Amino acid sequence: METIAIPAINMSVIAPEMILSVVAMALLLINVFVKNEQKGYLGYLSIAGILVTLYSLTIGWGAPQDGFSGSVVQDNFAIFFKGIFLVSAAMSILITDQYLQREGCNQGEVYPLMLFATVGMMLMASGTDLMTIFLGLEVLSVSLYVLAGFNRGSIRSNEAGLKYFLLGAFSTGFLLYGMALTYGATGTTKVVKIAAAAQSGMVSSNLMLVAGMLLMATGFAFKVAAAPFHMWTPDVYEGAPTPITAFMSVGPKAAGFAAFLRVLLVALPVFKAEWSSLLWVLAVLTMTVGNITALYQQNIKRMLAYSSIAHAGYILVGFTAGNAVGTSGILFYMLSYAFMNIGAFAVIILVGKKGEENNNLADYAGFGYKHPALGVAMCVFLFSLAGIPPAAGFVGKFYLFSGAIQAGYIWLAIIGVLNSAASVYYYLRVMIYMYFKEPTEDFNWVRLSPAFIICLIIAIAGVMIPGVVPGTILELAQKAILM
């Protein structure tokens, strides 16, 4: 009896994913053997696992390799995105324990789930086969559904989990149907082969391929929360436990963009004219809807949810351009967005107390005087989100919009800048509450644990250093684009 030929497998390509999965499984086992008060240590163990994974990633920089018959690739693009996922996961884990203890739901499962979600994101960034991308997306989504509903005692958290699950499953259907049509039209699920098949001009089935592309774009637009597929975002972000909101406003969005970029730039460059005009409309809608709705929000978590929609819109501007400047702008922006958004959510967690999240803007009255350091930190993050120099958010937006101008989308860049200007209003409003209103509370419950201090220091450094000296990060981003 002859043996079955095993296709070439290159385990070193998925070494970082394997390390993180093993750490997550080990934590799952440790979790059931330790007492409730010690669950916080699981967080530190998972951060150690993330650091090891990060180290194993850096080895592969500059030496792209693929494995599993070309289903997975470890190129600079994937490594850059994986760096973003790992950093954002580590920062979110730092702020998780204190929040969960306060809310009385410090179950240790949160850490393995966050790590599994990160593994899913990493697979999405690496996937060069539609099936690998889908697999990563599912690992990510299923973990996130559970995480969104993690505070089982809170009805809002339950609602968030259920809503996210229903809408997420719905959007997955779109994505999968698009992949099926693409496979039907080209006869392959590998992105490189799809590109070759699309180029060879199979005119009769082009319509099927276009339909597949549109459905996949819809699915990805759901995942990155682009208008008009953004409706789930505010409810889910508001209801989910705040550290989880921080986690899923950055990593999964970046993962969605990573897969979206790879599918459109590598697999379907033939339809660049078509998808550019599609993304143009998506970008304008997403920026405008996100920013205008954010203007009316009184709840800071909802405001940041709409702001995250608007930021997806800015990133879509760079995506529409589809050139080197725009793409490296996306990478740079995604990284700085991780720092500024998680930093802002860290401060939001500290303002809340048990049972009272204190998420209304009025709750921030006078906060800047009672806690000057936290007030300044919040201002740094908000300035960066608004895109005011010298913060990293400004540099990122600058490259996104200049990418659009280089590609000839002058109007898109103008709309983007106008939107950015409108967004300053709602970010500054938080600062006005913090500094120009009389304090109604004494904020004596705010407790800065070492983990929070570390997270905030990393966030401020991550916002200010690339903002003042963007050279290094930008060079890395330029080496990581797909072209």
What contacts 112, CB < 8 A, 6 or more positions away?
24, 25, 27, 28, 31, 46
Q: Which of 101, 172, 188, 205 binds other proteins (CB under 8 A)?
A: 205
442 scored as a contact of other proteins (CB under 8 A):
no
- Coil/strand/helix, residue 48: helix
| Window contacting other proteins (CB under 8 A); options: 27-35, 333-341, 370-378, 418-426 | 27-35
Residues in 370-409 at the binding interface with other proteins, rule: CB under 8 A: none
Specify the stretch interacting with other proteins by CB under 8 A; choose among 21-29, 54-62, 140-148, 363-371.
21-29
34 contributes a contact to other proteins by CB under 8 A: no
- Nearer CB in complex with other proteins: 7/372: 7
Q: Which pair of structure tokens corresponds to residue 71? A: 């289903």
Q: Would you say 31 and 39 are in contact if contact means Cβ atoms under 8 Å apart?
A: yes
Which residue type does 62 have?
G
Tell me if 444 contacts other proteins by CB under 8 A: no
CA distance 373 to 368: 8
* Contact criterion met (CB below 8 Å) for 446 and 350: yes
Q: What is the DSSP letter of 67?
A: E
Provide, rounded to whole angstroms, the least separation between the CB of residue 83 and other proteins: 26
438 binds other proteins (CB under 8 A): no
From 25-33, 160-168, 383-391, 472-480, span contacting other proteins (CB under 8 A) = 25-33
Supply the minimum distance, in Å, between the C-beta of residue 184 and other proteins: 9
Q: How far is the CB of 26 from other proteins (least distance, A)?
A: 8
Instruction: Kindly state whether residue 11 participates in binding other proteins, applying the rule CB under 8 A.
Output: no
Interface stretch with other proteins, choices 29-37, 338-346, 392-400, 460-468 (CB under 8 A) = 29-37
By the rule CB under 8 A, 4 interacts with other proteins: yes
Whether omega for the bond prior to residue 228 falls within 30 degrees of 0, making it cis, is yes
The least distance separating other proteins from the CB of residue 73, rounded to whole angstroms, comes to 21
- Give the one residue of 11, 200, 204, 471 binding other proteins; rule: CB under 8 A: 204
Rounded to a whole number of angstroms, the minimum distance from the CB of residue 194 to other proteins is 17
Angle at 444 between CA 439 and CA 446, to 5 degrees: 105
Q: Judged by CB under 8 A, which stretch of 31-39, 219-227, 259-267, 389-397 contacts other proteins? A: 31-39
28 sits near other proteins (criterion: CB under 8 A): yes
Segment near other proteins (CB under 8 A), from 24-32, 260-268, 334-342, 413-421?
Answer: 24-32
- Taking CB under 8 A as the rule, does residue 25 contact other proteins? yes
For position 355 contacting other proteins by CB under 8 A, the verdict is: no
- Nearest to residue 481, comparing CAs of 208, 273, 266, 268? 266
Beta carbon of residue 8, minimum distance to other proteins (angstroms, whole number): 12
| Of 416, 58, 64, residue with least CA distance to 266 | 64
Residue 3 as a binder of other proteins (CB under 8 A): the answer is: yes
Helix (H) or strand (E) holding 35: none
When asked if residue 6 is in the footprint of other proteins (CB under 8 A), the reply is: yes
- Report the residue number, 21 or 154, with the smaller CB distance to other proteins: 21
Tell me which amino acid residue 86 is. L
Q: Is 29 in the site for other proteins (CB under 8 A)?
A: yes
Residue 200 interacts with other proteins (CB under 8 A)? no
Nearer to other proteins, 29 or 273 (CB): 29
Contacts of 474 (CB under 8 A, 6+ apart): 328, 332, 395, 399, 466
Using omega within 30 degrees of 0 as the cis cutoff, is the peptide bond preceding 450 cis?
no
Q: Which is nearer to other proteins, 3 or 444 (CB)?
A: 3
Among 11, 32, 203, 273, binds other proteins (CB under 8 A): 32
- ∠ CA(372), CA(373), CA(374), 5° rounding? 95
* Strand locations in 5-130 (E): 65-67, 72-74
**Long-range CB pairs of 264-267, under 8 A, 24+ apart, other chains included:** 264/213, 264/217, 264/319, 264/322, 265/322, 265/327, 265/482, 265/483, 266/128, 266/191, 266/192, 266/195, 266/482, 267/182, 267/191, 267/192, 267/194, 267/195, 267/198
Size of the site for other proteins (CB under 8 A): 13
Residue 158 is a binding residue for other proteins (CB under 8 A): no
Does 273 help bind other proteins (rule: CB under 8 A)? no
Question: Contact positions toward other proteins, by CB under 8 A?
Answer: 1-4, 6, 25, 28-29, 31-33, 204-205
